[in-house]
Amino acid sequence: MKKQKLSVVKIGGKLIENENLLQTFLRSFVDLQGHKILIHGGGILATQLSDQLGYKSTLIDGRRITDENTMKVITMTYAGYINKNIVAKLIGSGCNAIGLCGADGSSILSKRRAVKDIDYGNVGDVETVNTEFICSLLTQQITPVFSAISCTKEGQLLNTNADSIAAEVAIALSKDFETHLFYSLNKNGVLMDAENDKSVIEELDFVLYQDLQAKGLISNGMLPKLHNCFHALQHNVNNVYVGGVDVLKSGIKQTKILN
Amino acid sequence: MKKQKLSVVKIGGKLIENENLLQTFLRSFVDLQGHKILIHGGGILATQLSDQLGYKSTLIDGRRITDENTMKVITMTYAGYINKNIVAKLIGSGCNAIGLCGADGSSILSKRRAVKDIDYGNVGDVETVNTEFICSLLTQQITPVFSAISCTKEGQLLNTNADSIAAEVAIALSKDFETHLFYSLNKNGVLMDAENDKSVIEELDFVLYQDLQAKGLISNGMLPKLHNCFHALQHNVNNVYVGGVDVLKSGIKQTKILN
């Protein structure tokens, strides 16, 4: 039997921070045919709230540590404010959605990242995606909206990279669905020249990726993102796209990642 | 066929604010046999966060108005911080739970309260409880945990009384379940003398309630709560109990409300 189509869409950055852009994006998300799942990060809202509350960021080697206060702020902004506002907007557009963090329905369980050189604090890596539960939602025509928080089976909430969650959710569900994974960035795709937003690479395969990486042409922010893209393709996800805020629109220049 | 048992439990006040009390309560909640649903308010956490952020409360005739900033803070604390921490604790105790606000899965849709003398702002009254969706969770042995936020079908999040949500959820599900409704208060039940925590009325029927009310012996805070209790009993909820933080424990003095 032909598998049904599922789109897994990750949004972040300015889409989350700009009400008008978000509204426009959600319209195209609602119009997307077939089953769909939305995964969002938090943009700068968590940092802004931390600053307002006078919480000091702990940085080690320039990397932010998720201490108790940061985790509290992330839970409030990601799982609370951003998540519920997206869900409410979707409900208002006639798309029955449900906002989840990884704890909800044990949907995304993770392991706290082991301390090697640096203790990143309350940060986790996905271990299991509860596909049975997520499929039961999709079957009921309910669209899951995940915030980038997972949970250990011992009940600890953990800050978790939204790009990785998107890849792991898409991979886990590719058993049951023809799965399409979309990453929406501030840039219009993977750029040949980071300064030129028109230099979108339309097709990026692993050979070209390695070549560009060797030449130092892929920015530090893009490397882990592309790692997630190839990881997904190598684990049965059918298609992966990297684009801008209008990644879901057809006829828009964006990057298709090829295995 | 005999209906299965469902317990709907509302917690608030010091239970939410005190980590140790909450932990103890959640242990007895996990031990509760049969299907169950938890509904929580936000205690003083929302007020504390509003104060920290410098948001001024708007009061009209001494009543707090839910303006935009207040709604934002409520969404962060109720649907984010408190809700996800309860869910994570339940997951860690082996109880598969899901945190929801009324928008999620269109579970509790409401209508913005009409402006008569006072415009309370973003405040709503429950219109429909999506029993089909909630039953599908219960059937999967997933325990819903609701924060006191509902949503209009147009997609507006609204601050909604947690006692009323508990009553309406219990009423809606009494079609399918033998339903028991529990209210956990800071006091140990309905008191004959508000100053004496040992003066718990063990059984309170509607005649006694009206008598006590006429004599001015029921406090202003307790009146709407008892209204919800009798409303639930009059709409097919099987049993209603009002007790303290250990309302779920047997052999504890508390108030049973009788029709």
Tokens, residue B30: 């996990």
Q: Is residue A203 classed exposed, middle or buried when 0-12, 13-18 and 19+ CB atoms within 10 A define those classes?
A: exposed
Residue B252: the pLDDT is 87
Chain B residues within 8 A of A97 when measuring between CB atoms: 103-105
Model confidence pLDDT, tens digit, residues B241-250: 999 999 999 8
pLDDT at position A61 is 73
pLDDT, residue B30, reads 98
Rounded to 5 degrees, what are φ and ψ at B146? -100, 130
The mean pLDDT of chain B is 94
Residue contact A76–B80, C-beta within 8 A: yes
Which positions in chain B touch A151 (Cβ < 8 Å)? 88, 91
- The shares of helix, strand and coil residues in chain B, as percent rounded to the nearest 5, are 35, 25, 35
Task: Go through A213-223 and write b for each residue having 16 or more CB atoms within 10 A of its CB, e for each that does not.
Answer: eeeeebeeebe
A155 with B100: Cβ contact below 8 A: no
Token pair for A199: 């230099």
> What is the model's pLDDT at position B91?
98
Q: What H or E segment, with its residue span, contains residue A207? A: helix A206-214
Q: Is the complex ipTM more than 0.90?
A: yes
Distance from CA of B163 to the nearest CA of A (A): 21
Helix ranges (H only) for chain B are 14-17, 19-31, 45-52, 68-74, 83-92, 131-139, 162-173, 206-214, 222-233
In this structure, what are the phi and psi dihedrals at residue A132, rounded to the nearest 5 degrees?
A: -60, -45
Selecting from A87, A100, A106 the residue whose C-beta is nearest the C-beta of B103 gives A87
Q: What would you report as the CA-atom Rg of chain B, rounded to the nearest whole angstrom? A: 18
pTM: 0.97
How confident is residue B168, by pLDDT bands cut at 50, 70 and 90? very high
Q: Which residues of chain A have pLDDT under 50?
A: none
Of B73, B75, B40, the residue nearest B58 (C-alpha): B73
